[in-house]
Each structure stands twice: as structure tokens, then as C-alpha cells.
Structure 1
Amino acid sequence: MKRIKQMLAVLLCAVALCGLAPAALAAQPLDESENGGKVIIYFETCGGTGIPVVERTSGDGKLYSLPTPTMEGYTFKGWYTDIVGGDAIVAGETEFSGEDATIYAQWDPIDQPVTEPTAPADSAEGIWERHKATILIVGGVLLLAAAGLVM
């Protein structure tokens, strides 16, 4: 029983460490002298998914790769310094220094195919489309009946 309690205590400590480690990393001071020039970058996907929320730059203050989020109905345009407009963030070129920064995903809507409008139900075209089969059958029966009467 004592052995089980010890194993549970070790397991609980490991879970606590795994759960608190990301928060501790994000809470580290951002002074360049204390972090070797590394800066924390927060990614605001503006509706996109599938990427990490935070990344740390290399010692020279640059991100050498940028994640690509996805969002249904949109094409990812890139990372920018502002939600609308702003400067483009270029992997390996844009330098962040001093304090943490947030960069924003910008999106372009995917063009949706335009469908032809259907004829309104109360127009001649709408009536013809809805009742085409019935009109042809009734018209044919009437023609046959008229032909039988004429003969």
C-alpha cells in the first residue's frame, strides 16, 4: 500500500510539472540580457486553427519558420504586425527585439462558385419548370383525344 502511495505521488508530481511547464515558459522575463536575445511571439490566428499559440525566437530575435494555420472557406495570406494591414512577417528576416510581440494571421476568402438563379415560381418559366412533365402528358392526351374525335 505504501508503494502505491509513493507511485501515485511521483505520478502526480510528473503531471503537475507537465501542466505547469508551458505556463512557466511563457511567464519568463523578456529582457534580452536574461533571455539571450530570445523573444516570445504570440500567434493570433483570427479564426484559424492547427498551430502553436506561442513560439520563442532564436538568439538573434528571428523566427526561421512560421506555422501555417487553416480556416475553412479562406486562404492563409500570411502573418502581419496588425489584424488589418500592417507589415508582413518574413521567416528568417523579420527581427523581434526587446519584448514579446503578437503577430496576426490575415485571410483571403475563397471565391465561391456563383450559381445561376432559378426562375421565380410565379413566372412562366417557373411554372414550365415545375410542371413540364404534367403539361406534356396532358397536352399529348388532348392531342390524341382531338385526333380521335376528328377522324
Structure 2
Amino acid sequence: MKQVKQRFAVLLCIAALCVLAPAALAAQPLDESENDGKVIIYFETCGGTGIPVVERTNADGKLSSLPTPIMEGYTFNGWFTDIVGGDAIVAGETVFSGEEATVYAQWSPIDQVPTEPTAPADTVAGVLERHKGTILIVGGMLVLVAVGLAM
């Protein structure tokens, strides 16, 4: 019975993280006058790791460099405006405008000849790996709240 309660508590925490994480980490819209035209760029690695998830452009709306994620068994094809297809993002050339944008990593399996860039299928391990930072932040906040309520 104790194991069932523990598993239920873990599932409840995971569900709370999934619901609260987007709201807790949502970026505030940029005020162009305060940020000199800089745009927030979100990097969706589609299963890759090893890079920052957010960067800002320079005042011209361009990224001076692009990070290179890694994913075992796949070759990184570059950053694009869509998960499959889309326009390639080129450091120092692609201009971003507005408040924020998301760019997507595209991958090809190493043991196959790339035909069309595709994103790897979502798995539990992939989702956990991509969102471990969010889980840690929100989980830490939940622990702090629980400790505060217990006092």
C-alpha cells in the first residue's frame, strides 16, 4: 500500500510539472525599445542535447553563431524554421523580427543516407532529456512550496 501511495505521489508531481512548467517558464514579451531590437530565439533540439535553449539576437536581429547539439546515432543537419522542411537558419545572415522565434534541429540517422531531414520520434527518455531543466526548476519550486506549507 505504501508503494502505491508513493507512486501516486510521483505521478501527481509529474502531472503538476507538466501543467505548471509552461506557465512558470513562459517568457515575457520583449519591449523593442528596452532591448534595442533584440529577439529571443528558442532552440528546439528535437532530441539533441548540449546547447543553451534560449539566446538573443544582436541589434540587427541576427545570431552571430549557432550552437551544435548532439544526439547519439544521428547527424545534425542544421537549424530550420520548421521541424521538417522549412528554411535553413544561417548564422549572421538570417534576420529574426518580432518578439521571439523558435528554430528546430533536424537530424538524419547515421546509418542511413539522408533523404529528407526528420525529427526523431518522441520517446519517454527523449521527452525527459529535452525537458530535464524544466522538471528540475519546477520540481524545486514544488519542494520549496511543500516545505513552506509544512512549517
Q: Which of the pair has more CA radius of gyration?
A: 1
Counterpart of 2:31 in structure 1 is 31
1:11-90 pair list within 5 angstroms: 27-90=27-90
Partners of 2:73 and 2:84 in 1: CA distance: 18
Encode CA deviations 1:42-86: one digit per residue, 9 max, x unaligned: 000000000001001011110010000000000000000000000
Deviation at 1:28, TM superposition (A): 4.5
Counterpart of 1:111? 111
2: CA distance, partners of 1:67 / 1:53: 10
Decide whether the 8 Å contact of 1:61 with 1:95 is kept in 2: yes
Aligned residues: 89
Q: Give me the TM-score of the superposition, normalised by structure 1.
A: 0.55
Q: Deviations over 1:86-115 (max 9, x none)?
A: 000000000001120000000011016xxx
TM-score by length of 2: 0.55
Name the counterpart of 1:95. Answer: 95
> Among the aligned pairs, what percent are the same residue?
87
Matches within 5 A, 1:120-131: none
Divergent runs of 4+, >6 A:
none
Quick one: which amino acid aligns to residue 75 of structure 2?
A: T
Q: Distance in 1 between matches of 2:29 and 2:61?
A: 15
Distance 1:29 1:76 in 2: 30
Q: Helix, strand or coil: the match of 1:34?
A: helix
Aligned to 1:8: none
Instruction: Give distance in 1, aligned partners of 2:92 and 2:98.
Output: 17
Higher relative contact order, chain-length normalized (CA < 8 Å, sep 6+)? 2
The answer to whether the 8 A contact 1:37-1:59 is kept is: yes
8 A contact 1:60–1:95 mirrored in 2:
yes
